[in-house]
Amino acid sequence: GSPLPHVAQGKAYLDWNATSPIFPEVTEAVGPYVATEFGNPSSDHCFGAPSRAAVGRAREQVARLLGCEASEIVFCGCGSEADNMALRSAIALSRQSLPVTSKPHVIS
């Protein structure tokens, strides 16, 4: 059987737009930060410190996995934010590395 509940008893969950299942290991890792250590990691107060440290550890783990620097890892709050960041980065990179023409180009 599947370790995730989206494929069970001949049924397949296809509504991935708003929510999706997560692996049990993820549930275990984030559990304290949604139950008791729920401070805002962007805040400087004592409630945010444990969350900020956890985000830092996660960033280091992802960087090691991808073979890059932790400073290159950006976590986004949603798909729209990630899409926007990717498009802005692609546009900025194209302006640096491609010849500039007078013709406008629309990314769709």
- Segment 24-42, tens digit of pLDDT: 898 999 899 888 888 999 9
Query: Phi/psi class of residue 40: alpha, beta or left (left: φ > 0; alpha: ψ in -120 to 50)?
Result: beta
Higher pLDDT: 96 or 89? It is 89
Q: Is the pLDDT of residue 1 over 50?
A: no
Are 21 and 5 a contacting pair, CB within 8 Å?
Answer: yes
Give the pTM. 0.65
pLDDT band at 78 (very low <50, low <70, confident <90, very high): confident
How far is 100 from 97, CA to CA, in rounded Å? 9
